[in-house]
Amino acid sequence: MKKIVLSLIFTLFIFVSAFAQFDPQYSQYMLNPTAFNPAAAAESGMIDITGQHRIQWLNMPNGGQTTNFSIVGPIKMNKSLHGLGLSFLNDKAGQFVNQAVHLKYAYKIPLGEGKLSLGADLGFVSLGFNGDSVLNHMVSIGDYYDFTSDPEIPTTSVVGNGFDVNLGAWYSTPDFYTGVSMTHVNQPVIEWGDRTEYRPASTLFGTAGYKFSLPGTKYIVKPSTLIKTDFKTMQVDLTGKLEYDNKYWGGLSYRWEDAVVFFAGINITGGLSIGYSYDLPASQLLNVSWGSHEICMIYSFEYVPQKTTTKYKSIRIL
């Protein structure tokens, strides 16, 4: 069964093409996979309320901030299992402001030792550009060129909207998971007035993870990886996570030629989990930035509808 799933993933990788990466970056991707793959919705079997906030490249002007909020949960219909949810995104990078809202759906099919999920995000993306914040300074391109006089670059704050579609597939067993997804499949055209438009490029994500227990201990090792590509550039995260007694965790990630990530977290009583990560730049960015910070909070709970009971009183005991 794993060969079938991996063949499906490989096929999707071959037939996808894109222009440039548009989606935000997450260091704690393993805690919130629905942020980039809708098929992972309701994989925990619980109702998950997740908030994730990232401050990118601290000390760098307009380095960027990202906030992602979602609520997803399982739904049983007849004998089939589905995942349903809603997500909100607010992402700022430079003079760009990317906001999005998506309805998530995943259909889950028993397959071999686990289950295969096929999912989709349907929603809207709103992209704005703060043109009035662009400084009027000269840029040397051959002769001196004043880019603020370029009619294709907005000089005021503009915003445009478009219908957005994300697709994904996810396969999981008790000890293994893998998934592939593509965002902005339809590559919506965002128009800023009559002369300027922007097309968010599709991005392909591939992820996999495994867990195994250390004999005679309460430790669990969870290696994972995330690959993101637009077929022009590629970003690879390699992660090692160590968990103790299903309560505490910590680990390291290496983002190829970009950063070393330190992260830790705790499962608090009552279904609340908190994770924190710090990115130490592993490139020339170390000279201008103090790194990136990210926090992720998840509240998980189970909802079991109770049957209503009707009480009757006998006139004999009134």
Q: Sign of the CA dihedral 154, 159, 164, 166?
A: positive
d(CA 209, CA 179): 9
d(CA 229, CA 238): 15
- Per-residue buried b or exposed e for 253-262, using 16+ beta carbons within 10 Å of the residue's own CB: bebeebbebb
Q: How far is CA 157 from CA 88, 128, 130, 138, 273, in A?
A: 22, 7, 4, 21, 38
pLDDT of res. 318: 39
Would you say 96 and 66 are in contact if contact means Cβ atoms under 8 Å apart? Answer: no
d(CA 56, CA 67): 11
Give the predicted TM-score (pTM) of the model: 0.84
> Tens of pLDDT along the chain (318 residues)?
444 444 444 443 433 332 345 789 999 999 999 999 999 999 999 999 999 999 999 988 788 999 999 999 999 998 899 999 999 999 998 888 999 999 999 999 999 999 999 999 999 999 998 876 665 544 445 555 555 566 666 667 889 999 999 999 999 999 999 999 999 999 999 988 777 788 888 999 999 999 999 999 999 999 999 999 988 889 999 999 999 999 999 999 999 989 999 999 999 988 999 999 999 999 888 888 889 999 999 999 987 666 555 554 444 433
Spell out the SS3 assignment of 175-227: CEEEEEEEECCCCCCEEECCCEEECCCCEEEEEEEECEECCCCCEEEEEEEEE
pLDDT of res. 314: 43
Contacts for 284 with CB less than 8 Å, ≥ 6 apart: none
Per-residue DSSP letter, 9: H
pLDDT of res. 98: 94
| Three-class DSSP category at 264 | strand
